């Protein structure tokens, strides 16, 4: 891979040890994937922020980078942490974990990373435009950025995202190359879809179907006439989880769909496919009651929080109910009075975090949510049984 003089200086350590290490990581990745050069990136999103995932080894790596005065060169935001950074006690987080989580956030802040602690950076300030190159690590956000915004990002790992932040560069391969963004299969959706649950189901059914083909395909989806931001973020999280996809095109909805014809290879997805998947998701649940309810995977938008407030007004929840969202979204919800209504009903804002990355294994047994992604990880990581329901039914479950 060809490096320009400025990049060579970074690799030689002329901008410090942290930048040298970062350039070394990028040069190795670029060589492995056959990149011809490095590209400048407009922003970075770092994942692997929860101390539950990072552990002591991750914290030591960050401490080492800060000891070398590492500083980011571009706008860099953070994925959710393992707790609400301002209100962790209410979540039942133990003090040792909280201390270590705070050390992680402080290390990133020292490097100049904005501690947004959210998987929806595009909702507040980290919003790449069409065709812009970025280096993001959160799978749902990468899929949203590539597909819905038309930006270009590979799904970065923790070290490669940090390396991109410290150098402002990423290797030119994968999703950065126009030829790798072409659709290869047409997916005809035969029925109209409504809500995050429906779109999550579609992501799961399509993701699994593509995964089963063994050859990675980029779908060109037809038959969907409308999709809200919330439905698209749910779909992105689901298709990235169940199919490992970083890009899809949706006819008439996503920007790059206008560049392509529908490919000849075709599959259809009907309402009965979605219903069968929904049945499969919920059949394993025992008849014991749900003891944990969570909304906000990916993090809730302001309209979603307004919807929760509207339905909880004057009522009391009967079980632990987490509202997971980003701090900037929560601040506006505070101003709008939504937070007061939701907290008066007994629900808890788990801001900066989510039901997957918080250390809650063993605390609950059965969770209800509208997120197909949360179901997948809550089952595999936290060993919860999950009930996968439409948004309003999740709220109703909390009230029972």
Binding site for ligand F3S (CB under 6 A): 79-80, 119, 140, 237, 297-299, 324, 354, 356-357, 373-374, 377
**Minimum CB distance to ligand F3S smaller for 7 or for 138:** 138
What's the closest the beta carbon of residue 247 comes to ligand F3S, in angstroms? Answer: 17
**Minimum CB distance to ligand F3S smaller for 300 or for 395:** 300
Residue 40 makes CB contacts below 8 A (sequence gap 6+) with 133, 168, 169
What's the closest the beta carbon of residue 118 comes to ligand F3S, in angstroms? Answer: 8
Count of all residues that appear for the chain in the document: 400
What's the closest the beta carbon of residue 47 comes to ligand F3S, in angstroms? Answer: 8
Cβ proximity of 166 and 201 under 8 Å? no
What's the closest the beta carbon of residue 184 comes to ligand F3S, in angstroms? Answer: 26
CA dihedral 294, 300, 302, 304 (to 10 degrees): -60
**Minimum CB distance to ligand F3S smaller for 309 or for 356:** 356
Between the CA of residue 326 and those of 299, 329, 373, what are the distances in Å? 6, 5, 18
Structure tokens at 250: 């949706």
User: How far is residue 240's CA from residue 141's CA, in Å, rounded to a whole number?
Assistant: 9
What's the closest the beta carbon of residue 353 comes to ligand F3S, in angstroms? Answer: 8
Cα 232 to chain centroid distance, Å, stands at 12
Q: DSSP secondary-structure letter at 400?
A: -
For residue 117, the surrounding DSSP H or E stretch is none
What's the closest the beta carbon of residue 271 comes to ligand F3S, in angstroms? Answer: 26
Between the CA of residue 375 and those of 175, 199, 294, what are the distances in Å? 28, 14, 10
User: How far is residue 359's CA from residue 357's CA, in Å, rounded to a whole number?
Assistant: 6
Residue 243 makes CB contacts below 8 A (sequence gap 6+) with 203, 206, 207, 208, 209, 210, 211
User: How far is residue 108's CA from residue 357's CA, in Å, rounded to a whole number?
Assistant: 18
**Minimum CB distance to ligand F3S smaller for 176 or for 373:** 373
**Minimum CB distance to ligand F3S smaller for 30 or for 328:** 328
**Minimum CB distance to ligand F3S smaller for 88 or for 377:** 377
User: How far is residue 325's CA from residue 305's CA, in Å, rounded to a whole number?
Assistant: 9
What's the closest the beta carbon of residue 297 comes to ligand F3S, in angstroms? Answer: 3
**Minimum CB distance to ligand F3S smaller for 38 or for 308:** 308
**Minimum CB distance to ligand F3S smaller for 373 or for 387:** 373
User: How far is residue 372's CA from residue 208's CA, in Å, rounded to a whole number?
Assistant: 12
Cβ proximity of 372 and 200 under 8 Å? yes
User: How far is residue 190's CA from residue 269's CA, in Å, rounded to a whole number?
Assistant: 6
Instruction: Count the Cβ atoms, other than its own, within 10 Å of residue 354.
Output: 28
**Minimum CB distance to ligand F3S smaller for 183 or for 359:** 359
- Dmax over CA atoms of the chain, in Å, equals 65
What's the closest the beta carbon of residue 302 comes to ligand F3S, in angstroms? Answer: 16
**Minimum CB distance to ligand F3S smaller for 65 or for 374:** 374
User: How far is residue 68's CA from residue 71's CA, in Å, rounded to a whole number?
Assistant: 9
């Amino acid at each position: 891979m060809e490096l320009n003089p400025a990049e060579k200086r970074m690799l030689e350590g002329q901008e410090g040890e942290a930048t040298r290490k970062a350039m070394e990581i990028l040069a190795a990745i670029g060589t492995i994937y056959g990149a011809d050069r490095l590209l400048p990136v407009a922003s970075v999103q770092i994942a692997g922020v929860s101390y539950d995932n990072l552990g002591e080894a991750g914290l030591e790596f960050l401490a080492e980078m800060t000891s070398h005065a590492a500083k980011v060169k571009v706008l860099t935001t953070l994925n959710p942490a393992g707790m609400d950074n301002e209100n962790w006690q209410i979540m039942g987080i133990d003090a040792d974990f909280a201390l270590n989580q705070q050390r992680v956030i402080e290390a990133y802040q020292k490097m100049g990373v904005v501690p947004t602690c959210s998987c929806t950076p595009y909702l507040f300030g980290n919003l790449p435009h069409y065709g812009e190159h970025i280096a993001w690590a959160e799978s749902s956000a990468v899929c949203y950025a590539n597909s819905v915004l038309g930006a270009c990002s590979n799904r970065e790992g923790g070290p490669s995202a940090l390396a991109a932040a410290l150098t402002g560069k990423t290797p030119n391969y994968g999703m950065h190359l126009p030829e790798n963004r072409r659709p290869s299969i047409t997916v005809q959706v035969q029925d109209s879809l409504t809500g995050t649950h429906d779109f999550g189901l579609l992501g799961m059914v399509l993701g699994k179907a593509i995964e089963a083909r063994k050859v990675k395909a980029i779908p060109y989806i037809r038959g969907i006439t409308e999709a809200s931001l919330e439905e698209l973020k749910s779909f992105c999280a689901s298709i990235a989880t169940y199919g490992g996809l970083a890009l899809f095109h949706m006819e008439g909805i996503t920007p790059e769909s206008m560049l392509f014809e529908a490919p000849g290879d075709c599959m259809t997805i009907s309402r009965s496919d979605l219903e069968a998947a929904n049945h499969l998701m919920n059949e394993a649940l025992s008849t014991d009651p749900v003891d944990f309810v969570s909304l906000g995977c990916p993090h809730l938008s302001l309209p979603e929080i307004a919807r929760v407030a509207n339905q909880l007004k004057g009522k009391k929840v009967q079980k632990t109910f987490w509202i997971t969202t980003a701090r900037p979204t929560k601040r506006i919800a505070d101003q709008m009075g939504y937070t007061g209504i939701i907290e008066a009903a007994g629900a808890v804002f788990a801001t900066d975090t989510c039901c997957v990355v918080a250390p809650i294994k063993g605390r609950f047994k059965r969770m209800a949510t509208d997120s197909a992604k949360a179901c997948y990880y809550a089952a595999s990581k936290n060993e919860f049984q999950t009930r996968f329901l439409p948004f309003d039914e999740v709220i109703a479950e909390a009230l029972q």
